Amino acid sequence: MEQTFIMIKPDGVQRGLIGEIISRFEKKGFYLKGMKLMNVERSFAEKHYADLATKPFFPGLVDYIVSGPVVAMVWEGKDVVLTGRKIIGATKPSDAAPGTIRGDLAVEVGRNIIHGSDSIESARKEIALWFPEGIADWQSSLHPWVYEA
Ligand code: DAT
Ligand code: MG
């Protein structure tokens, strides 16, 4: 099944939103396959956001990601990359619909509390970058109650 990389950014951790965010993915019917609380080095944050290196906000974005611990996670499920982005909401919290994580819980684009992979290809790269040790191998016993097959 499809996997995505989700990261709770330092503001989400500091604001005590870890449980709330995990709960939204869990209740949806996605499976947590990897998780760790960690501080990241500047060079690592730059690698994660390498595609944005030329953007004017890049240095501020890296400062933000290294400002405290983040929660790195792998979630699995049907269409989890795209659906995960929908659960997260638009990049700018002011554009994010109510009911989404950013729409409900964030105000500023530079404090938008969560990252989610934007494609299956990015997810593959980000999971390899953040979880070189691999992820947990388990299957939920509730699977047939959430998925038709
Ligand atoms: P997303 O996180 O929704 O995938 P992105 O990949 O385009 O958005 O950008 C990564 C992060 O960079 C985003 O979550 C917040 C920051 N960012 C994006 N656009 C910005 C802008 N115009 N000003 C300040 N920060 C921005
Ligand atoms: Mg992105």
3-state secondary structure the chain: CCEEEEEECHHHHHCCCHHHHHHHHHHHCCEEEEEEEECCCHHHHHHHCHHHCCCCCHHHHHHHHCCCCEEEEEEECCCHHHHHHHHHCCCCCCCCCCCCHHHHHCCCHHHCCEEECCCHHHHHHHHHHHCCCCCCCCCCCCHHHHCCC
Q: CA-CA distances (angstroms) from residue 72 to 55, 116, 118, 135?
A: 24, 10, 15, 11
Mind listing the pLDDT tens digit for each residue in 93-141? 999 999 999 999 999 999 999 999 999 999 999 999 999 999 999 999 9
Mind listing the pLDDT tens digit for each residue in 22-45? 999 999 999 999 999 999 999 999
User: Is 48 among the catalytic positions?
Assistant: no
**What's residue 69's pLDDT?**
98
Mutate to test the pocket of ligand 1, among 54, 61, 65, 70 (most ligand atoms within 8 A of CB): 61
For the segment 14-20, the average pLDDT, to the nearest whole number, is 98
115 lines ligand 1 (CB under 6 A): yes
The rounded mean pLDDT for the chain is 98
Q: Taking the CA atoms of 94, 96, 98 and 101 in sequence, report the sign of the dihedral they define.
A: negative
Q: Phi then psi for 141, rounded to 5 degrees?
A: -75, -10
Mind listing the pLDDT tens digit for each residue in 36-84? 999 999 999 999 999 999 999 999 999 999 999 999 999 999 999 999 9
Q: Closest ligand 1 atom, CA of 116?
A: 4
118 lines ligand 1 (CB under 6 A): yes
Overall pTM surpassing 0.85 (yes/no): yes
Do the beta carbons of residue 89 and residue 97 sit within 8 Å? yes
